[in-house]
Amino acid sequence: MDERIRDHADVLVDWSARIEQGDDVVLSVGEGAHDLGVAVAEKLGAIGANPVTTYASAELTRAYLRAHDGQFDEVPAHELALYEHADAVLRLGGSNNTTGTADVPPDIRHDWPAEAVREARLDTDWVSTLHPTRAHAQQAGMAYAQYQDFVYDAVLRDWEHLAAEMAQLKDRLDAGSEVRIVKADTDLTMSIENRTAVNSAASVAYDSHNLPSGEVFTAPTATDGTVTFDVPMTHDGTRIRDVRLTFEDGAVVDYSAAVGEDALAALVETDEGSRRLGELGIGMNRGIDRFTDNILFDEKMGGTIHLALGRAYDACLPAGESGNESAVHADFITDMRVDGTRLEIDEEVIQRNGIFCWEDGFEA
Amino acid sequence: MDERIRDHADVLVDWSARIEQGDDVVLSVGEGAHDLGVAVAEKLGAIGANPVTTYASAELTRAYLRAHDGQFDEVPAHELALYEHADAVLRLGGSNNTTGTADVPPDIRHDWPAEAVREARLDTDWVSTLHPTRAHAQQAGMAYAQYQDFVYDAVLRDWEHLAAEMAQLKDRLDAGSEVRIVKADTDLTMSIENRTAVNSAASVAYDSHNLPSGEVFTAPTATDGTVTFDVPMTHDGTRIRDVRLTFEDGAVVDYSAAVGEDALAALVETDEGSRRLGELGIGMNRGIDRFTDNILFDEKMGGTIHLALGRAYDACLPAGESGNESAVHADFITDMRVDGTRLEIDEEVIQRNGIFCWEDGFEA
């Protein structure tokens, strides 16, 4: 076994999910994630945790959902009980075909599994990660060995060190009132008054549930100006490129895309909340050095910023206050690692040309 | 997909497990049983049952158990809840290596999973079946396509018809008092007074939990005489051949084996109950035409008889009576499809040379 698979399991179990002896764990193994499953099982055995191992297969899901009449009226008692009694859920993604559910009608896909099951799962110390497969390499346009290197560079970080670095940015955001993003064809301001940033350090201890992670995010309001996104994205199977959004008083008043404008229109016009930002995220994972058409990685790249239309995360809001609500949460990424870009908090330049003010090479 | 995989799923879900709309099902997919998993998922979708799909991998189990300290003190609450709330468990066996847990210490293997979890699983409408894999073909000494034919011949029977045929034998056993088995080097009698035979027709409706099945079995007592078993068996990884057992007053008084006599000795001398028979089983599945070193198939072969040392099944006993008890239940098979053999119930010849009295070719 590639020693990096064991290292991946170590980070997942120890740093991310903080599994302890006696923990009741649901270990979800993707159809291509067997090898990581073996390494995680070994870790759980050594710790003395108790796994129930589930199988996450796009092919089984597709077969089930296409044959089903789509009436999911009752919450399956056994599935709900499994998650309600679980301390943690470790989801080892890893497909053999990343488009394996392409011909499942979207409304059926969205109604399953039951909302109560999803909530019970999210109520655990859950962490999602990805085992590199040939299918994901293909989606990224990369050779398999090259993609393995890419994934392990992103996952096998010094997370403690990165968490400390990200804390600096979180502190600045928490103390700040206004964020400004400047770039060619981009000049956008937003309020972050009374907002709490999340230091997403790939650990449940940081309220962060993806491995890799490595971003600091908050929930902005009162967005004004124009922003362009030069990183391509895939939304519900449709490619969208070169998105440009113009905001007034917090809401999108104009939008365009070079590719996939219809899909963008459907997104923006989903509901009232889909015209407003739910998230400002600032990527800080320097182990991610290229875009691979996988949001789990793309949005964490150090030197990028992403903005999401739609739903805001409660963790960013004052207690009792509800943020932007929407049926969607769609991330758009802009690459700040080019000349002439600036990220400002209250007019102080925090990042220039993709380099943070505390990093080597920063030009004040 | 090989159409026989869908047929297998049909038999499993409809005939064997009797799954209905709304049933909460645990679908356990072996590491090599993915294709059958897809077909079963499709069936469950069409019926409107609710699967939780688990992953049964010898490699994950091995990694977990070898790393564990072997102290399994607590019952995992999530695992117990899953099975307690399940209506049915469908176990799709199918290994990529049938010796995948060979280096796990047996005592750890026997302590896991927790007894309460096993009991909750057995309390459901559970059915075990096997998807043909290359590893199982190898264990059988067969080519892959040849082994697929073998498995589907065994599984895709007219079960309704076979159940009716087996009912004839069950009725004779239920009405009878004494069974006699005669063959070269074999003359054995046993009492079946007050015993109820089980018509094991591969369906929970018949209290039968293996697919394929196709045997009628009961729990004999007062065994006397000598019996030889010419079908090789593997017990806990050890090959045992040409076993000969001599009984007096129900207990083994002499035993030998051409191969594996030490393993046989350990078996026979496990405890008081391991010297006595727990089962007389009569194979009636004519779709199984060769031995493949897999007890799930071997013991069901039409024209064979198996006897088990050790634990008896409660279903064969009068209500409230407990049968032979033991830590083991070890099956030995003798092939009756040779000249000069007889199976008698109360001195009436029920089977001669492997042919039942109601079959063509029977010599009265």
Question: Residue B285 has what DSSP assignment?
Answer: B
Long-range CB contact pairs, B131-134, < 8 A, 24+? B131/B5, B131/B8, B131/B30, B131/B32, B131/B33, B131/B35, B131/B36, B131/B92, B131/B93, B131/B94, B132/B94, B133/B30, B133/B32, B133/B33, B133/B94, B133/B95, B133/B96, B134/B32, B134/B96
**Contact criterion met (CB < 8 Å) for B63 and A45:** yes
Each residue's pLDDT tens digit, B150-194: 999 999 999 999 999 999 999 999 999 999 999 999 999 999 999
Q: What is the 3-state secondary structure (H, E, C) of chain A?
A: CCHHHHHHHHHHHHHHCCCCCCCEEEEEEECCCHHHHHHHHHHHHHHCCEEEEEEECHHHHHHHHHHCCCCCCCCCHHHHHHHHCCCEEEEEECCCCCCCCCCCCHHHHHCCCCHHHHHHHHCCEEEEEECCCHHHHHHCCCCHHHHHHHHHHHHCCCHHHHHHHHHHHHHHHHHCCEEEEEECCEEEEEECCCCCCEEECCCHHHCCCEECCCEEEECCEEEEEEEEECECEEECCEEEEEEEEEEECCEEEEEEEEECHHHHHHHHCCCCHHHEEEEEEEECECCCCCCCCCHHHHCCECCEEEEEEECCCHHHCCCCCCCCCCCCEEEEEEECCCCCCEEEECCEEEEECCEECCCCCCCC
The residue ranking higher by pLDDT, B138 or B108, is: B138
Partner residue facing A67 (CB), from B45, B71, B77: B45
**Contact criterion met (CB < 8 Å) for A57 and B78:** no
Mean pLDDT of B218-247: 94
Among A1, A21, A55, the residue to mutate for chain B (most B Cβ within 10 A): A55
**Contact criterion met (CB < 8 Å) for B78 and A81:** yes
For residue A59, what is the nearest residue in chain B, using CA coordinates? B38
| Model pLDDT, residue A304 | 97
CA distance B152 to chain A (A): 22
**Contact criterion met (CB < 8 Å) for B60 and A48:** no
Least reliable range by pLDDT among A100-109, A251-260, B174-183? A100-109
**Alpha-carbon span A3 to A39, nearest angstrom:** 10
**Contact criterion met (CB < 8 Å) for A31 and B34:** yes
CATH of B3-155, one of 1.10.220.10, 3.40.50.300, 1.10.3720.10, 3.40.1830.10: 3.40.1830.10
Q: What count of CB pairs under 8 Å joins A to B?
A: 149
Which residues are paired to A251 by β-bridges?
A248, A276
CA distance B79 to chain A (A): 6
Mean pLDDT of A193-212: 96
- Exposure pattern of A16-40 as b/e (b: 16+ CB <10 Å)? bbebeeebbbbbbbbbbbbbbbbbb
**Contact criterion met (CB < 8 Å) for B85 and A81:** yes
Among B6, B28, B64, B96, the residue to mutate for chain A (most A Cβ within 10 A): B64
For residue B56, what is the nearest residue in chain A, using CA coordinates? A53
Residue B236 has pLDDT above 80, yes or no: no
**Contact criterion met (CB < 8 Å) for B55 and A29:** yes
* pLDDT-derived band at B26, boundaries 50, 70, 90: very high
**Contact criterion met (CB < 8 Å) for A82 and B84:** no
Residues B5, B35: contact at Cβ < 8 Å? yes
Each residue's pLDDT tens digit, A36-76: 999 999 999 999 999 999 999 999 999 999 999 999 989 99
* pLDDT-derived band at B343, boundaries 50, 70, 90: very high
Mean pLDDT of B230-243: 89
* pLDDT-derived band at A107, boundaries 50, 70, 90: confident
ipTM of the modeled complex: 0.92
**Contact criterion met (CB < 8 Å) for B78 and A50:** yes
The residue ranking higher by pLDDT, A106 or A155, is: A155
**Alpha-carbon span B326 to A162, nearest angstrom:** 58
Among B13, B40, B57, B78, the residue to mutate for chain A (most A Cβ within 10 A): B78
Least reliable range by pLDDT among A1-5, A134-138, A319-323? A319-323
CA distance B342 to chain A (A): 49
Residue A16 has pLDDT above 80, yes or no: yes
**Contact criterion met (CB < 8 Å) for B61 and A41:** yes
| Model pLDDT, residue B92 | 98
Identity of the amino acid at B123: D
CA distance A212 to chain B (A): 23
| Model pLDDT, residue A159 | 98
Axis-axis angle for helices A3-10, A144-155 (nearest 10): 30
Mean pLDDT of B17-37: 98
* pLDDT-derived band at A237, boundaries 50, 70, 90: confident
**Alpha-carbon span B72 to B65, nearest angstrom:** 10
Please report residues of A whose CB lies closer than 8 A to that of B33.
none
Alpha-carbon distances of B298 from A239, A317, B226, B238, B290, rounded to whole Å: 55, 65, 22, 17, 8
CA atoms within 13 A on the CB side of A276: 19
| Model pLDDT, residue B73 | 86
Residue A322 has pLDDT above 90, yes or no: no
Each residue's pLDDT tens digit, A136-186: 999 999 999 999 999 999 999 999 999 999 999 999 999 999 999 999 999
Considering chain A, tell me which residue range(s) the CATH 3.40.1830.10 domain(s) occupy.
Answer: 3-155
A300's CB contacts (< 8 A; 6+ apart) are: A154, A210, A212, A213, A214, A215, A283, A284, A285, A288
**Contact criterion met (CB < 8 Å) for A38 and B29:** no
Residue A1 has pLDDT above 90, yes or no: no
| Model pLDDT, residue B109 | 84
| Model pLDDT, residue A238 | 87
**Contact criterion met (CB < 8 Å) for A34 and B86:** no
Partner residue facing B34 (CB), from A45, A57, A64: A57
**Contact criterion met (CB < 8 Å) for A55 and B54:** yes
Each residue's pLDDT tens digit, B250-273: 999 999 999 999 999 999 999 999
| Model pLDDT, residue A320 | 86
Please report residues of A whose CB lies closer than 8 A to that of B58.
none
**Contact criterion met (CB < 8 Å) for B52 and A82:** yes
Residue A236 has pLDDT above 80, yes or no: no
Partner residue facing A54 (CB), from B53, B64, B65: B53
Each residue's pLDDT tens digit, B59-103: 999 999 999 999 998 999 999 999 999 999 999 999 999 999 999
CA distance A62 to chain B (A): 8
Structure tokens at A218: 């908050």
Among B10, B13, B52, the residue to mutate for chain A (most A Cβ within 10 A): B52
Please report residues of B whose CB lies closer than 8 A to that of A51.
64
Each residue's pLDDT tens digit, B319-333: 888 899 999 999 999
